[in-house]
Amino acid sequence: MQQANRFRLVEERHIPEINSLARLFEHQKTGARVLSMTNQDENKVFGITFRTPPRDNTGVAHILEHSVLCGSRRYRVKEPFVELLKSSVQTFLNAITFPDKTCYPVASQNRQDLYNLMDVYLDAVFFPNIPPEVFAQEGWHYELPSQDAPLKFKGVVYNEMKGAYSSPESLLAEYSQQSLYPQGTYGLDSGGIPEEILNLTYDDFIQFHKKFYHPSNAWIFFYGDDPEQERLDRVGEFLDQFDPLDVNSQVNTQPRTDMQKRVEESYSATDESDPRCYLTINWLLPETSYPQLNLGLRILDFILTGMPASPLRRRLIESGLGEDLAGVGLETDIFQMYYSTGMKGVPPENLDRVEALIQETLQDLARNGIDPEIVQAAMSSVEFALRENNTGSFPRGLAVMFRALSTWLYDESPFSLLEFSDVLEQIKLRLEQGEKVFENLIQEHFLDNTHRTVVLLRPDSDMERRIQEMENQRLEEARKQLDQKQMQELVESTQKLMKWQEEPDDPEELARIPRLTRSDMEPQIRTVPRREEKVQEATLLMHPQPTSGIFYLDLGMDLHFLPQKYLSYVPLFGRALLEIGTFSQDYTALTTRIRQLTGGIVPVPFSHSVRGSSESTCRLFLRGKSLPEKVPDMFKIFRDILTQVKLDNKERFRQMVLEEKSGLEQALVPAGHRVVGMRLKARYSEADWAQEHMSGVTYLLFLRHLLEKIEKNWDQVLSDLEGIKSLLVHKGSMLVNITAEEDALDQGRQYLQDFLQEIPREEASRQHWKWSCTPGNEALYIPARVNYVGRAVDLESGSYRFHGSSMAATRFLRASWLWDKIRVQGGAYGAFSSYDHFNNVMAFTSYRDPNITKTLQAFAGSGAYLSRPDLDPEEVEKAVIGAVGEMDSYQLPDAKGFSSMIRFLANITDEYRQNIRDEILGASVENFREFGQALDQALREDKGVISILGGQSQIEEHQEELELENSFRLL
């Protein structure tokens, strides 16, 4: 087809909000939609999305999302996706299943790399190679390695969803959403319900791909500083190979009804003596495509619960009826939006009152009006966030893609939510004219809305057992149905699958996957300018950066002024500074003022090892940001919270402790590998030990104890807090880190001078902490159907001296041996390894893992794998590219300034970093082997330490081998 008329330009516009020229095309032959955004952002993004509304709960869309990345027409290897992970400098590479769409996004700062990723992804989605083995591995299958072995269900998605269904929060989110859409697409779980995944057949799975993975059902997105013509040429080549197809992928909408439904479900808990329930109220809202309504509801969400002073949040928290808020708030990523709010940690006798309180609060707000100060704080917060567009390490372009898709996928304009300026101005104007914008939204969409449900989730200590029994029964049934011949067939297919999984890829096929080479890598490290000076007794660091005018201010207080017994108080103390109020403003007035005048201030407890020292650098940071004209106000806020904080508000402090506790409990299952990793590393370094006290299991146990202490001995708690304040808040403890436009820095220094005048000078002395390394293996019990298995070893015994190549070797291990053994063959969702070169410690963890000992065996074999004689130099090359990519990870200006400060604190010089980069770039097979031998020796000689988070019965089965010295129930 002629290039000129391959694509039809549908619409073109300049979008100043994201500094982009946007051009919307249609592929003439197939109707594929292409949105091309051109701008200065070097973090380029490509994404292809298919509309894939599920028709059942078998998780077919999710299993397909995994499976198409397991080899394709042009790339005949088992896992091209993993090959890309190994050898690309990507800044994002993943695939995501949503309730109605499946997205394949990639991002990279390197143009050739982006094209490589794109090419592999396009071939994968349009021409995947998905034999029954892939379906079995990623979806589900019967595992029967021999006639007398127990029959089991296996599969990556099956296990992943078992993990998801172990978390009460994800259950609550699923049930809340599903309750509103009994007849619609969103009443189903596109991820799959574990028991129903087992009903999916290979044939249905293949049909799903045929039906939906077609250009006529594709939404394609480009973003960044690369040329548009090349984008179109590259994607056009794939699209041209198809004829148009009439795809029925409409989302089944839910008719609005008079629905006053209550849904009662249970979640798995180990203990019912102190039952804690969840409750949400949920409302069906209109479609996403009305910009004013959409943005208005986002602001309303912020008004209701986004700030400590938010009226709904405040009343719920202050009621003491439960521990914290629950519910996802406003959901805008699906066609028919919904709102879900409620509480968790609610004793059963309080449930009705929570429901009534939500209703009363909304009525009160609609009738008597919302405090205009709160409205203004929410307006300026949302505007700040929209303009700053700070997506952290997540590519900005991807955030733009998802926002565009939230209307575009439903055949509306992709631009309506991206062009927010006018919409925001209109809302402001309506407010100025006295219109009760948000009160009216509450009345219409909440109070007068009868399409509403209440979802209750109660603990059930027998649930785990029942589910297991059901699974066992199902397996028994299946086994009974099998005659001798069928059994033998199952043994053979199991063995065939195992053999297929273990068979190495053909090196020639592997070599076809496009990738960068060492010579494409920039040899020099990226540096961030930094100026250092003393202002009074404080240290000031400044980083000139193009920040679009935003002024970033980090203020860090040195925690080494505290005795170690206070460490676990630090996160709470940080929150108290910002959220408990001062002598002149109570907490609602203070937090509202912060939101009106700044882009937000957050507390960040931080610790890091210091190169060449056994002591760590530990600080409590307050990280703030503001527009240029509000910088003096921000400094005044910092002054007030540090000098006038009024700590003696017992009730408010107790609420914060409860929120911290329930937040941490909620994170245990979804972030189990991090919990375990932290437990392990805490044995080896002061920095990790301190971190564990401020965010790990030790912190959780502290919070539980503290709740009792607040009741029994508040005076003591208060005097601890006052003590912390006097030890931390003085000039000598302060480090100030400013990241801003060059011309704002001098002024910043002036404001700092004035600020420091009011901070006391203290003759405090720094403390040496005696942290101890408690030996022994441990098990932490939670009510989960999966495990998180971890082990750490000290490479000291292998007398390894750090060499930069070890960073590439660790990556290689993760993407090869650990991936194959633990994910592909073991059926876990993931496995990680990290080498801490400051302390010479290697840590392994697994994620949503059905196994324990098998995983530990895989960890134990990793040194030998790395040091084996036939290590392929090509694999080393790939790992080098990946490691360089990791070093050059994309950062927005505020992150650059913060990283530069960390390097300053941790004594990581540019020279040292350059040396590491040189060593990575020069890494050889020999280097890998050397690291492997040291690791192998350590794994054999140093028993190291094992930590496992998981279900008690699963862990107790292996009690003997694990030599547990310590075990306790966490949830």
Q: Whole-angstrom Cα distance, residue 19 to residue 29?
A: 31
* Residue least distant from Zn ion (Cβ): 160
Residue of 202, 239, 190, 197 lying closest to 217 (CA atoms): 239
DSSP result, 526-569: P----EEEEETTEEEEEEE---TT-EEEEEEEEGGGS-GGGGGG
Q: Which stretch binds Zn ion (CB under 5 A): 152-160, 421-429, 540-548, 955-963?
A: 152-160
- Which residue lies nearer to Zn ion by CB, 65 or 778? 65
| Residues forming the active site | 65, 138
Dihedrals φ, ψ of 551, to 5°? -105, 115
CA dihedral 879, 883, 886, 888 (to 10 degrees): -130
CB of 393 to Zn ion, least distance (A): 21
Contact criterion met (CB below 8 Å) for 841 and 685: yes
Which tokens is 883 given? 């490691």
DSSP result, 184-210: SGGGS-TT--HHHHTT--HHHHHHHHH
CB of 64 to Zn ion, least distance (A): 11
Q: Which stretch binds Zn ion (CB under 5 A): 157-165, 386-394, 465-473, 706-714?
A: 157-165
Dihedral-angle region of residue 607 (phi above 0 means left; psi in -120 to 50 means alpha; beta otherwise): beta
- Which residue lies nearer to Zn ion by CB, 81 or 115? 81
CB of 135 to Zn ion, least distance (A): 14
Site mask for Zn ion (CB under 5 A), range 84-123, x = bound:
----------------------------------------
Residue of 34, 42, 46, 45 lying closest to 10 (CA atoms): 34
CB of 85 to Zn ion, least distance (A): 15
- Which residue lies nearer to Zn ion by CB, 304 or 669? 669
The footprint of Zn ion on residues 263-302 (CB under 5 A) is none
Residue type, 682: A
Residue 300, CA distances (Å) to 256, 290, 436, 597, 701 in order: 22, 15, 12, 19, 36
Q: Which stretch binds Zn ion (CB under 5 A): 42-50, 158-166, 345-353, 671-679?
A: 158-166
Contact criterion met (CB below 8 Å) for 341 and 304: yes
Q: Whole-angstrom Cα distance, residue 831 to residue 823?
A: 7
- Which residue lies nearer to Zn ion by CB, 160 or 558? 160
Contact criterion met (CB below 8 Å) for 938 and 944: yes
Q: Which stretch binds Zn ion (CB under 5 A): 49-57, 159-167, 518-526, 623-631?
A: 159-167
The total number of residues written for the chain in this structure: 971
CB of 160 to Zn ion, least distance (A): 5
Residue 648 CB contacts under 8 Å (≥ 6 apart), including other chains: 718
- Which residue lies nearer to Zn ion by CB, 160 or 419? 160
CB of 156 to Zn ion, least distance (A): 7
Residue 55 CB contacts under 8 Å (≥ 6 apart), including other chains: 188
- Which residue lies nearer to Zn ion by CB, 69 or 813? 69
Q: Whole-angstrom Cα distance, residue 696 to residue 91?
A: 28
CB of 102 to Zn ion, least distance (A): 11
Secondary structure element (H or E) that encloses residue 738, with its range: strand 734-740
Dihedrals φ, ψ of 168, to 5°? -60, -35
The tokens 């940071």 sit on which residue? Answer: 621
CB of 66 to Zn ion, least distance (A): 6
Q: For strands 451-460 and 336-346, give the pairing.
A: unpaired
Beta bridge partners of 625: 552
- Which residue lies nearer to Zn ion by CB, 96 or 478? 96
- Which residue lies nearer to Zn ion by CB, 105 or 863? 105
Q: Whole-angstrom Cα distance, residue 454 to residue 278?
A: 10
- Which residue lies nearer to Zn ion by CB, 59 or 571? 59
Q: How many CA atoms lie within 13 A of 602 on its CB side?
A: 7
Contact criterion met (CB below 8 Å) for 699 and 738: no
CB of 61 to Zn ion, least distance (A): 10
- Which residue lies nearer to Zn ion by CB, 65 or 383? 65
- Which residue lies nearer to Zn ion by CB, 160 or 554? 160
CB of 222 to Zn ion, least distance (A): 25
- Which residue lies nearer to Zn ion by CB, 125 or 680? 125
- Which residue lies nearer to Zn ion by CB, 163 or 345? 163
Buried b vs exposed e over 763-784: b needs ≥16 C-beta within 10 Å?
ebeeeebebeeeeebbbbbbbb
In three-state secondary structure terms, 127 is coil
Cα 448 to its chain centre, rounded Å, is 36
Site mask for Zn ion (CB under 5 A), range 459-488, x = bound:
------------------------------
Query: How many of the chain's residues bind Zn ion (CB under 5 A)?
Result: 1
Q: Which stretch binds Zn ion (CB under 5 A): 9-17, 156-164, 353-361, 606-614?
A: 156-164
CB of 863 to Zn ion, least distance (A): 30
Q: Which stretch binds Zn ion (CB under 5 A): 155-163, 439-447, 731-739, 808-816?
A: 155-163
Q: Tell me the residue ranges of DSSP E strands in 588-635.
A: 601-609, 616-626
Q: Which stretch binds Zn ion (CB under 5 A): 154-162, 387-395, 450-458, 674-682?
A: 154-162
Site mask for Zn ion (CB under 5 A), range 613-652, x = bound:
----------------------------------------
Q: Whole-angstrom Cα distance, residue 517 to residue 514?
A: 10
CB of 411 to Zn ion, least distance (A): 28
Q: Which stretch binds Zn ion (CB under 5 A): 160-168, 341-349, 731-739, 815-823?
A: 160-168
The three-point CA angle 492-495-500 to 5° equals 120
In three-state secondary structure terms, 806 is helix
CB of 55 to Zn ion, least distance (A): 19
Q: Which stretch binds Zn ion (CB under 5 A): 153-161, 307-315, 725-733, 839-847?
A: 153-161
DSSP result, 832-897: EEEEETTTTEEEEEEESBS-SHHHHHHHHTHHHHHT-TT--HHHHHHHHHHHHHHHT----HHHHH
Q: Which residues bind Zn ion (CB under 5 A)?
A: 160
